Amino acid sequence: MAANIFTSIMVTFEGAMAPAVIGNAQQELLSGIERTNAAELGVIRGQILANVNATVPPYALTVGELVNMTAEAVNLRGRCGVKEEGLVVALQLGAENRTRVNVVAGDANSLGYIRTPLEVLRILFGTANATVPGGVFPAGLPGNIYRQIQPYTRESPKGFEALALELAVIIIITLD
C-alpha cells in the first residue's frame, strides 16, 4: 500500500517539474524517470487489483476498500480534489467514463493528474498544511523550502516549476 501511495504521489508530481527542466539530456532523464515510475505504479496497482477482494488481516476490510480509503485520505490532505483514485471507482471516475476498474488513475480524458508542490507537502506532512511538518517528515525537510512556498501558486509567473524541481530533489535525497 505504501509503495502505491508514494509512487503515485511522485508520478503525479513529476508533471509539475517538467517545465523547469532545461536541456535535452535533463529532459530525457526526467522523461525516463517518469516512464519508469509510471510503469512501476502500473505493476503495483495491477498486483493490488489481483487481490482487490482479499481481506486484509487483522481488519475486516478488503484490499479494494483499504486502497479506496487511502486514496480518500490522500485527497483530503492534499486539498486538491480527486487526484488519487481507488481501484474500483464510480463510472464517472473511470477511464473515459467507460469502466469502473481503475489500474491507471486519470481524468475523464484518461490524462494523468499533476500535483503541485503544495499538494505534495500537504500529503507527505499529513497535516493538510504545506507549512506544518508531520507525517513522513515529522521534523520537516532540510532547509526552509516549505517555508518559502506560500507565495507560489500555479498561476505564478515564475518560480513554481523551479520550486517543484527543488522540492523533488530534497524529497528524493531525504528518503534515500
Q: What is the mean pLDDT of residues 64-68?
A: 87
Q: Which helix (H) or strand (E) holds 90?
A: none
How much of the chain exceeds pLDDT 70, in percent?
77
Provide the grid cell at 167: 522540492
> Closest Cα to residue 103, out of 34, 13, 43?
43
For cell 521534523, the residue is 139
Separation between Cα atoms, residue 32 and residue 40, nearest integer Å: 12
What is the CA angle 120-84-54, rounded to 5? 130
Amino acid at 9: I
CA distances from 108 to 21, 45, 82 (A): 28, 19, 11
Number of domains the chain is built from: 1
Separation between Cα atoms, residue 147 and residue 29, nearest integer Å: 29
Compute, in degrees rounded to 10, the torsion defined by CA atoms 145, 114, 3, 149: 10
Domain span holding position 155: 2-175
> Closest Cα to residue 13, out of 34, 31, 27?
34
pLDDT of residue 169: 59
pLDDT tens string 85-124: 888 888 877 777 788 887 877 777 778 888 887 888 888 8
Confidence of residue 84 (pLDDT cuts 50, 70, 90): confident
Confidence of residue 54 (pLDDT cuts 50, 70, 90): very high
Q: What is the mean pLDDT of residues 148-166?
A: 52
CA distances from 107 to 52, 72, 110, 114, 116 (A): 22, 16, 5, 10, 16
Whether this model's pTM surpasses 0.75: no
Q: What is the mean pLDDT of residues 53-75?
A: 87
